[in-house]
Amino acid sequence: MNWRKSVPLGFGVASLAIVWLLATSGNISITWDEPVYAEVAERAAHWFALILHGRFTEAFAPTTFGYSWGLVNEHPPLTRIISGLGWSMTRGFLSPPLVHRIGSMMFAALGLGVIAVLIARERGLRVALFTVAAILTMPRAFFHAHLATLDFSVAIVWLGTSLAFFHTIKKTPPKYTPGSVFIRALTLGGLWGIALLTKINASLLAPFWVLWILWRRRSWTNLLIWLLSLPIALLTLILGWPWMWRHPIEGMINWLSFFHTHYPIPQWFGGRMYLDNLPWWLPFAIMLVVTPGVLLALAGIGAMHRRHASSSLRDWLDLHLLGMIVVLAWFALPHSNLHDADRMLLPATFHLAVLSGEGFDALWRWLRERWHGMKTDIRNLIAQILLASALLSPGLIGIIRLHPFELAYYNELVGGVRGGEKIGLTTIYFASTYGAFLPQLNELPPGSKIWAMPNSFDVLYYYQLNGLLRPDLIMLRPPGWGSFYDNKGVKWAEGWIDEADYALIERRQTDFNEQLPNHNRILDWAYTHPELARVERCGVTLAALYSR
């Protein structure tokens, strides 16, 4: 596919994707990472407004600069800048939370359009469209695509830059010159630098790419291109990250050390709690249970197709096999921080989607050779659409049944949501149910004290400050806990669940299970106090509101 045809394809895919996301965004709750990301997006937007108005002295004054970039300075700024741009352009007519999400949603849609173009140029329209459709019908990936968080963005950039890397290295000139080597290194370094500006997880692109070069395109020139791209990537990261400008070396050290000493986040899997002793097989098991079974099978077909493929096709298939393995293997290492089940594995999920597209293509070609009724182009097209729809329907049905709680999704291999609960898988996470309780919370008596699950009271502050939750309601939080919202007049008091008038309990097992003695009081509330409202799917309770 040439570039002339690629532009309409990319625009069409991006347009359909943003329509699909906007149409389903209305009742998706704010998740626990989003309040702080919304805040830093607004601060970044205000800082760039100072720059655009020529107020450089004010913008770089220590107080203003620190306020604008100091909060959540452990994460690079690309997503906050994009979200801030979306907020600044739409705050006059969009309401929260969409106004804080529109930038990242547009980035997700545009990224999918670019990915479709890059895949179509390598493997054709059929593989490209099925890959994008697979991503948007994986229930958990679909949920993450709506959020103003880092995970879907880094997966988009991870796959997009890897496709561009493949195209760059694959196009080997008849004879390398110093100029061509530098141009390729500059291209790869710039791409990797942009990825690093999304999240530190993108640092895994460096071993991923060099391993592929050593496996499929081994040459001293390609290794030199990769090596030269590393300082270019780091320079791109520093230039694109205002927080690094004043003290780049110190800032880089602090950035890396934060993730080296990141506090452990518990994982619940198979009825057992893991903290810093995650089993090596856990990321592989999570991928197996949160991905629609049909897509797993298609990805297996796509991967096995490499045995009879041409050398160039094996290069392509091995890129996605290796990319998936690198991500999963990293989180299989001892003391890795695999946060919240699936969300850190989205880059691997995207590679799996490409392999499922290859599996669909192989299946279609096999069927076409044996189905003699497809003699015309129109019959051929209709048959492809029907086949793709049937293969994508399990994920789409999962979205329809669970929306807006797709983080409860488990596939057919474990019996869905109910089967996942029976074998001890995490029921829900991310405070992704709180928005469903706003009508009940707004009917509570004036001055009621509300207890919410740890780490998630910022979600209720967000709703309160944006006019979606009554301002007189008081949020309880454990002694010693603070919030970046404290200087904005939110209602709060110190206290544990025993002092609450009402408790909002989400069934996230890392906080809600009998293996944690400190959380027995949460279990007691859930089992002994009156229930005012609940959210459930497929007969499984995801969250409930309880009264004293």
Q: Both tokens of residue 540?
A: 């499984």
- For the chain, the structural domain boundaries read 150-261, 434-547
Give residue 402's pLDDT band: very low, low, confident or very high (50, 70, 90): very high
Task: Give residue-wise pLDDT tens across range 119-142.
Answer: 999 999 999 999 999 999 999 999
pLDDT at 518 over 70: no
For 255-269, what is each residue's pLDDT tens digit?
A: 877 666 666 677 889
pLDDT mean over 365-378: 75
Check: CB of residue 162 under 8 Å from CB of residue 323.
Answer: yes
The C-alpha atoms of residue 201 and residue 76 are separated, in whole angstroms, by: 11
In this predicted structure, what is the pLDDT of residue 260? 62
Mean pLDDT of 438-466: 93
Confidence at residue 371, expressed as pLDDT on a 0 to 100 scale: 75
What is the average per-residue pLDDT within 377-387? 88
Per the prediction, the chain carries an average pLDDT of 91
How many CB atoms sit inside 10 A of residue 116's CB? 24
Tell me what the mean pLDDT of segment 175-185 comes to. 84
Query: To the nearest whole percent, how much of the chain has pLDDT over 90?
Result: 71
Instruction: Name which of 341, 500, 369, 348 is nearest 432 in CA terms.
Output: 341
pLDDT at residue number 521: 78
Place of tokens 């995207």: 350
DSSP-derived pairing of the beta strands 492-494 and 474-477: parallel
Q: For residue 377, what pLDDT is reported?
A: 78
Strand 492-494 and strand 502-506: pairing? Answer: unpaired
The pLDDT tens digits of the residues spanning 465-508 come to: 999 999 999 999 888 888 889 888 888 999 888 899 999 999 98
pLDDT band at 308 (very low <50, low <70, confident <90, very high): confident
Q: What's the average model confidence in pLDDT over 188-210?
A: 94
pLDDT in tens, 413-441: 999 999 999 999 999 999 999 999 999 99
d(CA 353, CA 350): 5
Is 121 in contact with 167 (CB distance < 8 Å)?
A: yes
The secondary structure element, H or E, covering residue 273 is: strand 272-274
Residue 309: per-residue pLDDT: 81
For residue 138, the 8-state DSSP code is S
Q: Is the pLDDT of residue 376 over 70?
A: no
Residue 375 has pLDDT above 70, yes or no: no
- Residue of 252, 243, 150, 138 lying closest to 201 (CA atoms): 150
